[in-house]
Structure 1
Amino acid sequence: MSNNEDYDKLSPAEREARDKADRAREAAEQAALPYKWTQQLGDVDITVPVPKGTRGRDLNVVIQKKKLSVGLKGKEPIMAGELCKDIKVEDSTWTLEDQETVLVHLEKLNQQQWWENVLTHHPKLDTTKIQPENSKLGDLDGETRAMVEKMMFDNQQKQMGKPTSDELKKMEALKKFQEAHPELDFSQAKIS
């Protein structure tokens, strides 16, 4: 039996408890990594601590379409491996901040997709549980924002086994029609 089937059988309280446990496990796995990372739909920002006093010339940073490596010259990289998704190399950058932190900015090639992890061999996040920052929704034009909010609402409704906004609209229209035509029998009606 898959995790999803198990999950569907849980009560809302049990789902919340499992989600909380999953989030805590994910947070612990991410905290154990030698870097921190955040993402928006369009980009990923990675913070890699390095010894205080590090200079740019001491660093060896390689950013490729599908690979990333950050480390000190002559030493094992702090992080290195295959990126989980392709990036736009020409729009991706790195900088050294306060001689103790390497900031890597990766521009995603597919800007409509959440990343599960940065490097493929590192622990994954459950991308279905990502809540986009509301401030970013505010950057969208009205039509796009409405579409994104509808998709987020529909996604949440589906996860809870509730009707999507389109299904709710159909149910509402049918209800109005039934009220306008009490003489018709709708007991066998199916909404598709």
Structure 2
Amino acid sequence: MSSSDPVPTPVAALDAPLKKRDDMTKEEREEFDPLPYQWRQELGDVDVTVPVPKGTRAKDLDVKISKKALSVGLKGKDKILEGELCKDIKVEDSTWTLQDQSSLLIHLEKVNKMTWWENVLTHHPKLDTTKIQPENSKLSDLDGETRGMVEKMMFDNQQKQLGKPTSDELKKHEALARFKAQHPEMDFSKAKIT
């Protein structure tokens, strides 16, 4: 046989029936279907959708959500997914719901709302998070403290561009003016604000 001749395929391999997913070992399932779920994320949360057999009821499911781990399966069967989460979550704000008796939606609330996850479970393939293009957000989407910081930064940037004092500098000027009013006997002609 020369190197250009095709390699014969054993007849038994052609006749072998395809295994159903339920009949596969865990390793065979992971090789065949490395991610048994789909997922998407925002800066604050992650949503995982896990397909389950049609007709599944909530009481048939075995779902465990903890700060650092996630486990999903059907009672009495191998786990569909199980492992350590990429990052910590807020368990009290995370939920799961069964949709149309055919898919499980798991909502995970991130502890750190300023980082993108590379994957859901640490043993699954990683994404390159530097390529994530987030949607433009509105100030109204932000929590109160973050919104205040962003508005202050925007104001200060605008003031600098106009050559005017920033919010911190305005506060210092106001404090000095109040102090001058309370102490008219003092000479402030050489006072500098830094």
Alignment TM class, shorter chain as reference: 0.5 to 0.7
Q: Structure 1 residue 146: deviation in Å?
A: 9.6
Query: 1 CA distance for matches of 2:40 and 2:86?
Result: 14
| Distance change in 2, residues 1:145/1:48 (3 Å) | farther
Corresponding residue for 1:22? Answer: none
Corresponding residue for 2:116? Answer: 114
Corresponding residue for 1:144? Answer: 150
Q: Structure 1 residue 32: deviation in Å?
A: 4.7
Query: Structure 1 counterpart of 2:36, which letter?
Result: P
Please give the secondary structure, in 2, of the residue aligned with 1:46.
strand
Corresponding residue for 1:74? Answer: 76
Which whole-Å deviations, capped at 9, do the CAs of 1:74-95 have from their partners, x for residues lacking one? 1111111000111000110000
Which whole-Å deviations, capped at 9, do the CAs of 1:32-91 have from their partners, x for residues lacking one? 511000001110000000000000000000000100011101111111100011100011
Query: 1 CA distance for matches of 2:104 and 2:50?
Result: 5
| Distance change in 2, residues 1:52/1:66 (3 Å) | same
Of 56, 59, 62, the match for 2:58: 56
Query: 2 CA distance for matches of 1:101 and 1:56?
Result: 10
Residues matched between the structures, number:
120
TM-score normalised by structure 1 residue count: 0.56
Of 59, 75, 90, the match for 1:88: 90
Query: Structure 2 counterpart of 1:100, which letter?
Result: S
Identity of aligned residues (%): 72
Bigger CA radius of gyration: 2
1:1-192 maps to which residues of 2 (within 5 A)?
32-135=34-137, 139-140=141-142, 141=147, 144=150
Q: Which runs of 5+ in 2 are unaligned?
A: 1-32, 155-160, 162-194
Query: Structure 2 counterpart of 1:74, which letter?
Result: G
Which whole-Å deviations, capped at 9, do the CAs of 1:117-146 have from their partners, x for residues lacking one? 000000000111111122467724486289
Contact 1:138 1:145 in 2 (8 A): no
Q: Which runs of 5+ in 1 are unaligned?
A: 1-30, 149-168, 170-192
Q: CA RMSD in A?
A: 2.6
Query: 1 CA distance for matches of 2:152 and 2:102?
Result: 42
Please give the secondary structure, in 1, of the residue aligned with 2:59.
helix
Query: Structure 2 counterpart of 1:71, which letter?
Result: G
TM-score normalised by structure 2 residue count: 0.56
| Distance change in 2, residues 1:138/1:42 (3 Å) | same
